[in-house]
């Protein structure tokens, strides 16, 4: 065992008359470095004596200061060390790490960023000017819904009762995605996906052809007799829920209060089936943050823990280019404490996280707050495509129904041919060349993080070889 030592023992006045303090422990192996003296002396720690594994472990103790406590933290197969001053209690570490680590386990989901570095083959194809399949597609399965959330973006995009992509077209499209090498599809956007009865078969088929799937749903009309198909084959299911009690549910989702109970029971049952069968599907809740649900944040954070879901994420509300939802981003400034408190409910098995990057846009200058981007060109659409619930393809959700950017219809053409064809690439080129992202686009669109990454890649700083 190494002993604690006193800093004072290491205090000295050097040969120039200046006070110096080292933290070399008294029991550290030392050696003299002949010739070159440091400002202290020419005595240094003999690192060669610390090379075997056991001694390396001991070296954690070597530079422990007086009264300092060492906390070993393990996450996965990593062991980390946190040094605590005398009397200091372990505190949550500031989020300085962008990836998951023992200090930052919530980042295992990376809600507030992108994962483009894991798809560099597509990035290189793009850099070489080749044609390539999207990495991910967000896709609506219907253009109508059974609730009426007061923040719903889809409302500005012609929701139409009864309109949905038809079963044959959907399954053919899934097969084409498999052939093309699309890596994931999220049944997200436009109307409620569970209103399309082909959802369940599409999920099963996607797994068979090697595509990861996910879904965002209000959860009220889930066919629980197909729960095993969903949980066995999907990567994640996210419940759109911006309330923690039935009164908030009625207010924000404009649905009957008794539906809150129905949803909670569905989620509880899915959690049970998942756990019993050890299915890998992640189950989470997502709140779209608007002033009308500020009072629901903590209630929902507690509800998520009680239900046993894997996460509760809180995101900003994306307003349209005409700001038809009327979001004042300054309103977010007053709720930071509540969001932090909600995050403190995280445990090893339950992540509560706010998407700070976008919520904090409220403290940006008026220019950025109102939609100005930190890049000038949108290159993201061929990597992250969005398809409307009626089977029509556009480069992105905010451009649904803008005929200039219409690419094709899955009822009329195969997706494989569309991606290999001229029109598809002409539209992406048109987006990159003619869209003014500062004025023509929704605030903080889905491709925003990806666009920032691609912009940096396209516009390198000087001296890039000095990494
Ligand atoms: S930046 Fe504009 S064009 Fe590009 S994906 Fe976002 S909304 Fe669409």
Q: Tell me, using a 6 A CB cutoff, whether residue 437 lines ligand 1.
A: yes
Please give the residue that has the higher pLDDT: either 382 or 99: 382
Question: Which of 6-15, 45-54, 403-412 is least confident?
Answer: 45-54
| Tens digit of each residue's pLDDT (9 = 90 or more) over 407-448 | 999 999 999 999 999 999 999 999 999 999 988 887 778 899
User: Which sign, positive or negative, has the C-alpha torsion 27, 28, 29, 32?
Assistant: negative
The best mutation among 189, 377, 381 to test binding of ligand 1, ranked by most ligand atoms within 8 Å of the C-beta, falls on 381
Give the residue, by CA position, lying nearest to ligand 1 atom 8.
Answer: 396
- The token duo for 409 is 């219809």
Predicted pLDDT of residue 94: 55
Closest residue by Cα to residue 41 from 79, 10, 69: 10
Predicted pLDDT of residue 197: 97
Please give the residue that has the higher pLDDT: either 276 or 60: 276
Q: Give 33's pLDDT tier (boundaries 50, 70, 90).
A: confident
Give the residue, by CA position, lying nearest to ligand 1 atom 4.
Answer: 378
Ligand 1 centroid to 398 CA: how many Å? Answer: 7
Q: Tell me, using a 6 A CB cutoff, whether residue 381 lines ligand 1.
A: yes
Give the residue, by CA position, lying nearest to ligand 1 atom 7.
Answer: 441
Average of per-residue pLDDT values in the chain? 87
For residue 364, give Cα distances in angstroms to 103, 319, 329, 358: 28, 16, 10, 10
Q: Please compute the mean of the pLDDT values over residues 379-406 and round it to a whole number.
A: 95
Q: Give 46's pLDDT tier (boundaries 50, 70, 90).
A: confident
Predicted pLDDT of residue 348: 84
| Tens digit of each residue's pLDDT (9 = 90 or more) over 207-222 | 999 999 999 999 999 9
Residue 277 pLDDT greater than 60, yes or no: yes
Residue 302 pLDDT greater than 60, yes or no: yes
Give the residue, by CA position, lying nearest to ligand 1 atom 6.
Answer: 445
Q: Tell me, using a 6 A CB cutoff, whether residue 219 lines ligand 1.
A: no
Predicted pLDDT of residue 68: 75
Q: Give 70's pLDDT tier (boundaries 50, 70, 90).
A: confident
Ligand 1 centroid to 236 CA: how many Å? Answer: 25
Q: Tell me, using a 6 A CB cutoff, whether residue 427 lines ligand 1.
A: no
Q: Tell me, using a 6 A CB cutoff, whether residue 375 lines ligand 1.
A: no
Residue 98 pLDDT greater than 70, yes or no: no
Q: Give 4's pLDDT tier (boundaries 50, 70, 90).
A: very low
3-state secondary structure the chain: CCCCCCHHHHEEECCCCCEEECCCCCCCCEEECCCCCCCCCCEEECHHHHCCHHHHHHHHHHCCCCCCEEEEEEECCEEEEEEECCCCCCCCCCCCCCCCCCCCHHHHCCCCCCCHHHCHHHHHHHHCCCCCCCCEEEECCECCCCCCCCCCHHHHHCCCCCCECCHHHHHHHHHHHHHHCCCEEEECCCCCHHHCCCHHHHHHHHHHCCCEEEEEECCCCCCHHHHHHHHHHCCEEEEECCCCCHHHHHHHHCCCHHHHHHHHHHHHHHHHHHHHHCCCCEEEEEEECCHHHHHHHHHHHHHHHHHCCCEEEEECCCCCCCCCCCCCHHHHHHHHHHHHHHHCCCCCCCEEEECHHHHHHHHCCHHHHCCCCCCCCCCCCCCEEEECCCCEEECCHHHCCCHHHCCEECCCCCHHHHHHCHHHHHHHHHHHHHCCCCCCCCCCCCCHHHHHHHHHHHCCCCCCCCC
pTM: 0.81
């Amino acid at each position: 065992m190494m002993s604690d030592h006193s800093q004072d023992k290491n205090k000295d006045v050097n040969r120039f008359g200046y006070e110096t303090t080292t933290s070399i422990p008294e029991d550290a192996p030392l050696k003299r470095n002949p010739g070159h003296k440091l400002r202290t002396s020419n005595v240094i720690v003999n690192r060669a004596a610390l090379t075997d594994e056991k001694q390396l472990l001991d070296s954690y103790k070597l530079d422990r200061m007086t009264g300092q406590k060492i906390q070993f933290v393990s996450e996965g197969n990593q062991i980390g060390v946190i040094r605590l001053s005398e009397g200091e209690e372990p505190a949550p570490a500031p989020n300085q790490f962008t990836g998951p680590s023992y200090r930052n386990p919530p980042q295992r989901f990376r809600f507030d960023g992108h994962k483009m570095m894991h798809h560099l083959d597509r990035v290189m194809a793009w850099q070489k000017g080749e044609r390539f399949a999207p990495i991910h597609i967000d896709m609506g399965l219907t253009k109508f819904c059974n609730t009426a959330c007061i923040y719903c973006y889809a409302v500005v995009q012609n929701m139409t009762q009864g309109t949905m992509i038809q079963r044959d077209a959907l399954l053919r499209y899934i097969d084409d995605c498999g052939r093309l090498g699309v890596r994931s599809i999220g049944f997200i956007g436009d109307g409620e996906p569970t209103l399309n009865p082909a959802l369940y078969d599409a999920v099963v088929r996607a797994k068979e052809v090697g595509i990861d799937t996910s879904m965002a749903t209000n959860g009220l009309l889930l066919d629980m007799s197909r729960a095993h198909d969903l949980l066995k084959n999907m990567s994640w299911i996210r419940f759109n829920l911006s309330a923690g009690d039935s009164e908030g549910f009625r207010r924000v989702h404009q649905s009957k209060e008794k539906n809150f109970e129905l949803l909670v029971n569905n989620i509880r049952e899915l959690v049970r089936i998942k756990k019993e069968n050890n299915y890998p599907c992640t189950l989470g809740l997502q709140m779209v943050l608007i002033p009308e649900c500020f009072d629901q944040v903590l209630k929902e954070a507690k509800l998520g823990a009680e239900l046993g879901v894997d996460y509760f994420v809180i995101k900003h509300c994306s307003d349209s280019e005409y700001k038809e939802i009327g979001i004042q981003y300054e309103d977010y400034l007053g709720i930071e404490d509540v969001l932090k408190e909600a995050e403190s409910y995280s445990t090893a098995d339950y992540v509560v996280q706010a998407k700070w990057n976008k919520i904090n846009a409220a403290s940006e200058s008026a220019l950025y707050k109102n939609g100005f981007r930190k890049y000038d060109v949108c290159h993201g659409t061929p990597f992250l495509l969005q398809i409307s619930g009626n089977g029509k393809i556009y480069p992105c959700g905010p451009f649904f129904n803008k005929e200039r950017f219409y690419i094709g219809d899955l009822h009329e053409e195969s997706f494989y041919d569309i991606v290999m064809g001229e029109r598809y690439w002409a539209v992406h080129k048109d987006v990159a060349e003619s869209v003014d992202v500062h004025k023509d686009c929704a605030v903080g669109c889905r491709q925003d993080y990806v666009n920032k990454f691609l912009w940096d890649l396209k516009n390198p700083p000087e001296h890039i070889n000095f990494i």
